[in-house]
Amino acid sequence: MTITLIIVTAIIGYLLGSIPCGVIISKKFANKNLLQVGSGKTGTTNVLRAAGKKAAALALILDIGKGVVAVTIAHYILSSDYAISAGALPWREFAKALAGVAAISGHSWSVFLKFKGGRGVATLMGGLAALYWPAGALGGICVLGIGFRTKYMSLGSIIGAVTAFIMLMAFYVLRVEFLNPVPPLEYVVFAMMGAIFIYVRHRDNILRLFNGTERRIGEKVKTETIPSSHNPK
């Protein structure tokens, strides 16, 4: 029964993550198909290119919310009387972390977009915020601060994810209690997987950063032409 509850939380997390907030918002604000603009990704940076600052801010909040809600639902499901009676409580932190991973996966490979999506940065930060908010806050500050300072959101995303992981790892190893109890190992593993995932998803950006061809925040891009077979009907 415990395994069933964990699987249910993972499925819920994936479906929440799969909601294509950026695509919906870009269509509503600018009548543009986000998958045909700029990088073709569904995250905040591409929404900014397609539909402007207000749309990007809304997409950012909603994508963060997907991670927060996925982890929170897992917490309450594994804290219910039914779960406790089934002996599932010891697995609660694992289920929460897994739900966060599922939400990031859904955002990156949405079932509603034929398994296309974004890079998962905002949803990762939302998951971190729900698990251990100081790490989520620090990571988010790094993402936005470095991103807007350098005009390279990809650089901010990578540094933010790595910074959040380093913080959680240090607090776990040193047994630091900072506004929260010592983070459990499950949170550290989640942050580590998140940092690796963000790095892998940004490999093309890293190459462009080294080559000096990476897109800057606010840089105007044309709508890309894709094969007609992929065009919405």
226 located within any domain = no
122 located within any domain = yes
Sign of the Cα torsion 146, 189, 111, 80 reads: negative
229 located within any domain = no
Burial label, 113 (beta-carbon count in 10 A; 0-12, 13-18, 19+): middle
119 located within any domain = yes
88 located within any domain = yes
Neighbouring C-beta atoms of residue 24, cutoff 10 Å: 16
* Domain encompassing residue 158: 2-219
Please give the distance of CA 232 from its chain centroid, rounded to a whole number: 26
Please give the distance of CA 92 from its chain centroid, rounded to a whole number: 21
191 located within any domain = yes
Q: 165: which 2 tokens?
A: 């992981």
CB 214 within 8 A of CB 38: no
- The pLDDT tens digits along the chain (233 residues) read 899 999 999 999 999 999 999 999 999 999 999 999 988 999 999 999 999 999 999 999 999 999 999 999 999 999 999 999 989 999 999 999 999 999 999 999 999 999 999 999 999 999 999 999 999 999 999 999 999 999 999 999 999 999 999 999 999 999 998 888 999 999 999 999 999 999 999 999 999 999 999 888 866 655 443 343 444 33
Which residues have C-beta within 8 Å of that of residue 4, sequence separation ≥ 6?
none
Q: 56: which 2 tokens?
A: 């990007």
112 located within any domain = yes
The number of distinct structural domains making up the chain is 1
Neighbouring C-beta atoms of residue 226, cutoff 10 Å: 12
CB 192 within 8 A of CB 128: no
124 located within any domain = yes
